[in-house]
Amino acid sequence: MSDLTVEPAPVLNKENMKIFFNSLFWIAVWLMIGPTVSASDLFISGRNEIFDNPFVATGFNTTSNVLTGSISVSRTASGETNECRILFSSNTKDQKTLQVRYFVVGAEDGVSKFSDIDKASVVHDEKNIKIKLDRKKLEGGCEWILSFVGEPSVTQQGDNVFFVIPERTPGAWRSVHTIKSKRAAFYKAPGGSPVEGTYLVPGDTIYAYEEQSDWLYVKYQGRKKLTVGWMKKADTVPF
């Protein structure tokens, strides 16, 4: 005869039933509401993974309450990589509107003509913060590049393009800039001599931690290393 014993089933008394149904109720509430976000969540400094496509970086200056940021989307065809760069800025008093500019970085041509300053909207649903742009106003090859990147990062509805702001690595930088000069040199100190062999090219994204008159103390995250130093503000895109 087997030594197997059978334990009696637990009794669902009134107290256990109450706990059970309370648990079901709160699970249902969480599923209906889900995680919530606010447009104000944009107002921090952060970046997503450096090789993400699109790549998003934001910088928030706690003194001026100004948010600056960059969205970069790239596409490679026929051995050439083109990149659509969208710069945005906003004062935190208005959490729904961003000023934006667009341009295209080509493999050989450098930076194309900058667009005029336009406006974009910040929208959000239960899970994501999105930046809404008017597709008809995108410069040059931006629309062609954006068609390469699909959901969930970029969605297109009618004449609007939506960028999802992904989870980001928080940072202490105050603003985000893009290089516009053909060779933007690094300096050890404002007004000093440039560091030999160290420079950035149009379209590179830098993070500014300090500002002194016409100079910025910046960091640049390259594919292999991090470069730190001073840079002329005139070599970057003013916004």
Nearest to 231 by CA among 218, 212, 220: 218
What distance in Å separates the CA atoms of residue 237 and residue 239, rounded to the nearest whole number?
A: 6
Model pLDDT, residue 9: 47
What is the rounded (10 degree) CA torsion for 155, 72, 53, 49? -120
Q: What does DSSP assign to residue 24?
A: H
Radius of gyration of the chain (CA): 24
Name the H helices within the chain. 14-33, 142-146
Which residues are CB-contacts of 108 (< 8 A; sequence separation ≥ 6)? 80
Task: Please count the other Cβ atoms lying within 10 Å of the Cβ belonging to residue 105.
Answer: 23
Model pLDDT, residue 27: 46
Residue 89, token pair as written in the block = 């800025």
Look up tokens 């004449």; give the residue: 159
Model pLDDT, residue 31: 42
Please name every residue paired with 120 in a beta bridge, in sequence order, or none if there are none. Answer: 98
Residue 181, token pair as written in the block = 């000069």
Report whether 42 contacts 55 (CB < 8 A).
no
What distance in Å separates the CA atoms of residue 211 and residue 232, rounded to the nearest whole number?
A: 10
Written as tens digits, the pLDDT of the chain (239 aa) is 444 444 454 555 666 665 555 555 544 444 444 456 677 778 889 998 877 888 999 999 988 889 999 998 888 888 788 888 899 998 877 778 899 988 887 655 556 677 888 889 888 877 788 899 888 888 667 878 887 887 778 888 888 989 888 888 899 999 999 998 889 999 999 999 999 989 998 888 999 999 999 999 999 988 788 999 999 999 998 77
Q: Is 146 left (phi over 0), alpha (psi -120 to 50) or beta?
A: alpha
SS3 4: coil
Model pLDDT, residue 30: 40
Model pLDDT, residue 14: 60
Q: Round to the nearest angstrom and report the end-to-end CA distance of the chain.
A: 85
To the nearest 5 percent, what fractions of the chain are helix, strand and coil? 15, 45, 40
